[in-house]
């Protein structure tokens, strides 16, 4: 009788192979996809935070460079204020441009 575990010498290895295959298939369909999704979220958030930090640092560098450049023609106090107005104006124009490109929620 091949189905009787007492008389079939390959019963235990065959059953173990079937269980291992089943567990491997379940793991491939669930755990591996979950790991990929979590990695995507983690790396996406890391990229977002690094991008925001880079943007802030670039704004600081641009403002400071503009202050040093304007210091050639104006006094330091006036060059600081002018750099703030220029960078603020550029950011305002960029914001107005982006707001004009947005899609309204109205149907």
Structure tokens at 71: 């210091």
DSSP secondary structure code for residue 98 in this structure = H
Q: Which of 92, 69, 90, 87 is nearest to 79 (CA)?
A: 69
pLDDT by residue (tens digit) across 45-103? 999 999 999 999 999 999 999 999 999 999 999 999 999 999 999 999 999 999 998 88
Measured between alpha carbons, how far is 88 from 7 in angstroms, rounded to an integer?
86
Torsion, CA 100, CA 102, CA 104, CA 105, rounded to 10: -160
Domain extents in the chain: 26-101
Query: Which pTM value belongs to this model?
Result: 0.64
How many angstroms separate the CA atoms of 19 and 1, rounded? 22
């Amino acid at each position: 009788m091949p189905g009787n575990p007492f008389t079939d010498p390959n019963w235990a290895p065959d059953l173990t192979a079937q269980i291992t295959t089943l567990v491997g298939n379940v793991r491939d369909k669930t755990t591996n996809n979950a790991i990929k999704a979590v990695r995507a979220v983690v790396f996406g958030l890391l990229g977002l935070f690094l991008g925001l930090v880079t943007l802030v640092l670039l704004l600081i560098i641009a403002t400071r460079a503009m202050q040093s450049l304007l210091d050639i023609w104006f006094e330091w106090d006036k060059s600081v204020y002018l750099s703030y107005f220029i960078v603020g104006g550029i950011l305002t124009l960029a914001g107005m441009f982006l707001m004009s490109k947005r899609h309204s929620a109205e149907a």
